Structure 1
Amino acid sequence: MYIKNPNQIEHKSFDIIEAGMKEHNFNEQELSIVKRTIHTTGDFDYENIVIFKNNAVLEGINAIKPGCRIVTDTKMAFSGINKIALQKAGCTIDNYIDNEEVRKIAQELGITRSMAAIDMAASKGVDIFVIGNAPTALFRIGELLEEGKISPKLIIGVPVGFVGAAESKEYARTFNMPTITTEGTKGGSNVAAAIVNALLYMAVGR
């Protein structure tokens, strides 16, 4: 016998997560996000590595409620974000990684498509950046912040990997603005999408 009802599966999962977590200093809203990252990855280490800066959760919810523009670095993160909740909030979501102009610019300038995609997104205005895979995208966001070219309301930066991932997240945390990041090499597009979904559910429900 096994549980077949999807709602029961999710509720049971979160019961197990809550029982398995150690003592922590997260507030209720932050805890909702941490639990969803654990649920997405099956990895309790996320309770140790998710870092919130400058009232990031509240700022994210406040950005979502009236409707905002979200941009992801990958199609996977884009696909994993709940479109029904996005529609309920009146938010838009974009991803430029497959844009032909982005491909040409990246080739001409000798940069990653992720960097070129961030430049294109920034030129159109972004409220929430969602980075789950590409450290170069997160580094580029930081450069644009230093140049005063963007003013997002929240950066979700959880790129995964061994080349630049940890460093890009450390760089993002140096800015005096709301950020949700992970420490070290762990993260991913699934984690990024889970964080956005947690914010959406707190802002407008499912």
Structure 2
Amino acid sequence: MSHNIQTEQLTQAGQQIEHDSFAIVDHEVGSHGYSDGQWQVVRRMIHATADFEFNGLTEFSDDAVAAGIQAILGGAQIIADVEMICVGLSKPRLAHFGIETHQFIADEDVIAAAKQINSTRAVQAMRKAQRLGLLDGGIVAVGNAPTALLEVLRMIKEDGIKPALIVGMPVGFVSAAESKDLLAELHDVPWIITRGRKGGSTLVVAAIHALLSLAETRQKNG
């Protein structure tokens, strides 16, 4: 397997820049409280945003990284709250594991249902994902809509769904921090969050790319 499988960079120059960027992040952060696997995720999030606050704001359930790697190796579906996450993820890297991405935020039936009961499109999109059987065993990726995350948490509690991993990083001022605090109380579903208001699709994509890279390394090393 070629070296560039481990990175989004397809040229030697691009790989060198990424390598140097990671080295700068490591140097500036110095010591941290993350495990090796967790740091791979946090470092890539810092690399994607140049925001060193994610060293500390990013939190993991105990088994989150291992669960993410296992889900990817098993070809788990990714269910995102917004199209930006699906667009941002590397198609060749997803195809390597047979992973498909899904988002329903702009579907006509989702919009109609949201208007009919005065809900949000994000809530109805996650309900559609559940009707299609995508949430059980899937990787739920939320970077924009706190209501999507809150709805998934409701379905876990009331309907017994069990995603393989939730990457919960909605950004914003209304319910964003609160939704992540609630996610962090889960004990039976693995999760990765950013505390507080900061978040976004870019961070979710970075975190999943880090997990893809870890899964590729695991696969390569047998």
Category of TM-score, reference length = shorter chain:
over 0.9
Q: Residue 71 of structure 1: SS of its match in structure 2?
A: strand
How much has 1:78 moved relative to structure 2?
1.1
Identify which of 156, 174, 190 aligns with 1:163: 174
1:120 to 117, 128, 131: 128
Deviation, 1:24, is 1.5
Q: Name the CA distance, whole Å, in 2 between partners of 1:17 and 1:144.
A: 38
CA contact (8 A) 1:131 1:189 kept: yes
1:25 CA drift (Å): 1.9
Q: How does 1:1-206 map to 2 (within 5 A)?
A: 5-124=13-132, 125-126=134-135, 127-176=138-187, 177-204=189-216
* Aligned sequence identity (%): 37
Q: Distance in 2 between matches of 1:54 and 1:123?
A: 29
Q: Deviations over 1:100-130 (max 9, x none)?
A: 1111111111111011001001122221100
Spell out structure 1 runs of 4+ moving beyond 3 A.
Answer: none
**Which blocks of at least 5 consecutive residues in structure 1 are unaligned?**
none
CA deviation after TM superposition for structure 1 residue 174, in Å: 1.1
Superposed CA offset, 1:34-71 (max 9, x none): 00000011001101100000310100100110211111
Partner Cα distance (2:213, 2:124) in 1: 31
Offset, 1:5 = 2.4
CA distance in 1, matches of 2:81, 2:92: 20
Number of residue-to-residue matches in the alignment: 203
Task: State the match for 2:3 in structure 1.
Answer: none
Q: Deviations over 1:131-177 (max 9, x none)?
A: 00100101111111111242101000000111111000001111112
Supply the distance in 2 between the matched residues of 1:190 and 1:56 (Cα, whole angstroms): 19
Q: CA deviation at 1:180?
A: 0.2
- SS of residue matched to 1:147: helix
Q: Which amino acid aligns with 1:203?
A: A
Q: Render the CA deviation track for 1:1-23: whole Å, top value 9, x for unaligned.
A: xxx92212111110100001142
Contact preservation (8 Å) 1:88, 1:204? no
Q: 1:40, 1:191 within 8 Å by CA — same for their partners in 2? A: yes
Question: What is the letter of the counterpart of residue 182 of structure 1?
Answer: T
In the superposition, the TM-score normalised over structure 1's length comes to 0.95
For 1:129, the aligned partner's letter is: V
> Displacement, 1:92?
1.2
The structural deviation recorded for 1:80 is 0.9
Partner SS, residue 121 of structure 1: helix
For residue 121 of structure 2, what is the amino acid of its counterpart? Answer: R
